[in-house]
């Protein structure tokens, strides 16, 4: 069984004081609501309902930890950009993600999930700003790639590469991804394993 298939739900945290021990290695997933983040986590782990927990009422604003093996986690950060979210919840989201990004020494890299048709929106840009001071590695999954024609794909790639260059000065790699067809799953797994294995 691969590392990914061993993923099990570990815990949901809404308070930075309750984060698990900070001495292992982990990779976090961020993205707008509806970008396909849960589907991507499920596709990567080969566990169809794993990230379902992140959708259960009361857990949408928590950081959800999935354990791969001892001291190794995949971490699902709460989705952003949900118009209906109240101001208090937005503040909580900022506090929680800010604290997570600043404090987690275990964090090796950030996977940013974006719908390939609407990549690098203002909120994605804000998130990328936050990770800059830490010089954290990032990798963008341009999801729902199965919905794009060849022509749309070329345009989306060009635009995403330009935006990545502008916003991250080239420190963020990117790829197409589809949880529906499995496109890009192996490539993304490769990036994550490399990060988790890095000392
Ligand atoms: P999240 O809110 O970011 O966790 O997004 P979800 O994973 O729940 O996906 C949002 C919607 O997009 C759902 O209806 C999914 O079925 C759909 N979706 C997610 N990934 C893909 C994909 O790769 N291809 C297609 N065609 N639909 C997708």
**pLDDT tens for residues 153-185?**
999 999 999 999 999 888 899 999 999 999 999
The 3-class SS string of 161-181 reads HHHHHHHHCCCEEEEECCCCC
Q: How sure is the predictor about 188, in pLDDT bands with cuts at 50, 70 and 90?
A: very high
Looking at residue 47, its pLDDT comes to 86
Interval 28-73: pLDDT, tens = 999 999 999 999 999 999 988 887 766 776 667 899 999 998 889 9
Contact 78 CB / ligand 1 (< 6 Å): no
Q: What span, in angstroms and rounded, lies between the C-alpha atoms of 54 and 22?
A: 22
Residue with tokens 């635009």: 159
**Does 43 contact ligand 1 (Cβ within 6 A)?**
no
Q: What pLDDT sits at residue 171?
A: 86
Give the tens place of pLDDT for each residue, 122-136.
989 989 998 988 889
User: What is the distance between the alpha carbons of residues 163 and 166, in angstroms, rounded to a whole number?
Assistant: 5
Q: Is the CB of 45 under 6 A from ligand 1?
A: no
Residue range 6-27: average pLDDT?
Answer: 93
Give 25's pLDDT tier (boundaries 50, 70, 90): very high
The pLDDT assigned to 84 comes to 64
pLDDT value for 99: 94
Between the alpha carbon of residue 32 and those of residues 68, 80, 82, 98, the distances in Å are: 24, 5, 8, 16
pLDDT digits (tens, 9 = 90+) for 82-129: 766 678 778 888 899 999 999 999 999 999 999 999 999 998 998 999
Residue 81 has a pLDDT of 81
| Structural Rg of the chain based on CA atoms | 16
Which pTM value belongs to this model? 0.95
Report the separation in Å between the CA atom of 120 and the middle of ligand 1, taken as the mean of its atom positions.
17
Does the C-beta of 64 come closer than 6 Å to ligand 1? no
Tell me which residue has tokens 């804000």.
Answer: 126
Residue 30: per-residue pLDDT: 96
| Contact call for residues 170 and 22 (beta carbons, < 8 A) | no
* Burial of 30: CB neighbours in 10 Å, binned 0-12, 13-18, 19+: buried
Task: Please report the sign of the dihedral spanned by the C-alpha atoms of residue 25, residue 145, residue 122, residue 51.
Answer: negative
Strands of the 107-115 sheet, one edge to the other: 8-13, 63-69, 72-76, 25-31, 107-115, 137-143, 172-176
- Which residue has the least CA distance to atom 2 on ligand 1? 34
Ligand 1 pocket: which of 36, 116, 142, 180 to mutate (most atoms within 8 A of CB): 36
């Amino acid at each position: 069984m691969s590392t990914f298939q061993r993923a099990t739900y570990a815990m949901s945290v809404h308070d930075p004081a309750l984060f698990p021990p900070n001495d292992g290695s982990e990779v976090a997933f961020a993205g707008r609501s509806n970008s396909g983040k849960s589907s991507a986590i499920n596709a990567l782990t080969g566990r169809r309902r794993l990230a379902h927990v992140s959708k259960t009422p009361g857990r949408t604003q928590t950081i959800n930890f999935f354990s791969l093996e001892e001291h190794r986690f995949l971490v699902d950060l709460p989705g952003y950009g949900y118009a209906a979210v109240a101001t208090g919840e937005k503040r909580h989201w900022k506090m929680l993600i800010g604290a997570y990004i600043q404090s987690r020494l275990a964090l090796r890299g950030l996977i940013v999930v974006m719908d390939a048709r609407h990549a690098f929106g203002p909120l994605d840009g804000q998130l990328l700003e936050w990770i800059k001071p830490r010089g954290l590695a990032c990798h963008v999954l341009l999801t729902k790639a199965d919905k794009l024609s060849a022509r749309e794909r070329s345009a989306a790639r060009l635009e995403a590469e330009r935006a990545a260059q502008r916003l991250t000065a080239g420190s963020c790699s990117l790829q197409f991804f589809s949880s529906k067809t499995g496109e890009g799953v192996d490539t993304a797994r490769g990036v994550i394993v490399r990060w988790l294995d890095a000392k």
